[in-house]
Amino acid sequence: MDLYLTDKSKRYYLEALEEVKNCKDDFWDLDEEIEGFLETINKNPLVQTIYSKYNSTGFTKESYLKFAYSKEVELKLFRTLIPELLICHSDNKNFAELLYTFSFPDKRDGVLEKDSRLKLRCVDDPDYFYINNIRVAFNSDHKEEHINFWKDISKKLSEIKK
């Protein structure tokens, strides 16, 4: 079953993002390096960020963005935007890799235990990912490549139209 971004779900995810911005837990708080990029993307009424991480240091060195979208932009995402990202951000010389996954709406029954201290929808609500979404993950050892990835994806997602 397909479930796309609507005005109502956009408001829900914007409220959920505010919860993360106000979170005092170091693991769940919003990565300040990408806050501006998320705000830029979320100004587009046809796209909404729902889960993200900036990580250019440490063991994994993976930055990722999971976002929902309206039906009107689905074909443009898969036929144009994602192929452009794959071409621009996969580089064998620098060991940079970009991967994406598409997910149908998914209920997370029992995946995460409720943590009343956090009060985050992305943790507590089993329906949080019950929407069509795309996860784009970027891996690189170079911090500047991560910044370039975030600049590019935020620009492309903020400008996509019907």
Q: Which of 158, 159, 160 is nearest to 36 (CA)?
A: 158
Nearest-10 crossing angle of helices 82-89, 143-159: 160
What's the rounded mean pLDDT across residues 51-57?
82
In a domain, 18, yes or no: yes
Query: What is the residue range of 50's domain?
Result: 7-159
Domain count of the fold of the chain: 1
In a domain, 113, yes or no: yes
In a domain, 76, yes or no: yes
What value does the mean pLDDT of the chain take? 90
Going by pLDDT thresholds of 50, 70 and 90, the confidence category of residue 91 is confident
pLDDT number for residue 13? 98
Query: Does residue 11 sit in helix, strand or coil?
Result: helix
Task: With a cut of 50, say whether residue 121 has pLDDT above it.
Answer: yes
In a domain, 2, yes or no: no
CA distances from 54 to 13, 14, 15, 136, 143 (A): 19, 19, 20, 12, 10
In a domain, 142, yes or no: yes
In a domain, 71, yes or no: yes
In a domain, 1, yes or no: no
pLDDT number for residue 111? 46
Residue 103 sits at φ, ψ, to 5 deg, of -130, 135
pLDDT number for residue 123? 86
pLDDT number for residue 158? 98
**Percent of the chain at pLDDT above 70?**
89
Tell me the pTM.
0.91
Angle at 53 between CA 153 and CA 37, to 5 degrees: 40
What is the rounded CA–CA span in Å between residue 162 and residue 149? 23
In a domain, 31, yes or no: yes
